[in-house]
Amino acid sequence: MRMFKLILNVLAMIVGVVLLGTAFFYWNVPAGSLLPILPGYTEGSSDILREYSIISAILGSLVFMISWIISGTGKKKFTLAPEGLTRQEDLKL
């Protein structure tokens, strides 16, 4: 189970980096200079596709948050106070 979380976390990090890289690419490259396989490619266009960049950045951030949540689950262990302690004795500990 622990190995599955590690693999899932690494994959989420890779996808997040790819999405943020795509956001940077969309922000700086005109639509006519994009790779033809990318959505928004328009031959000869000089428009910058800011909306594609924003969407890609939001998705990348969400994937990073999911990765953060996956990596933080299951690590906290709570211990109970010994029986017979009153509230004031508990505060002195």
Tens digits of residue pLDDT in 70-85: 887 655 666 665 666 5
* Cα–Cα distance for residue pair 11/58, rounded to 1 Å: 17
54-72 pLDDT, tens digit each: 999 999 999 999 888 888 7
93 domain-assigned: no
What's the pTM value of the predicted model, to 2 decimals? 0.69
Q: Which pLDDT band holds residue 20 (cuts at 50, 70, 90)? A: very high
Integer angstrom CA distances of residue 72 from 14, 26, 65, 75: 18, 32, 11, 7
39 domain-assigned: yes
Domain containing residue 47: 2-81
Counting the structural domains of the chain, the total is: 1
Question: Taking a C-beta distance cutoff of 8 angstroms, is the pair 24, 9 a contact?
Answer: no
67 domain-assigned: yes
How much is the pLDDT for 79? Answer: 63
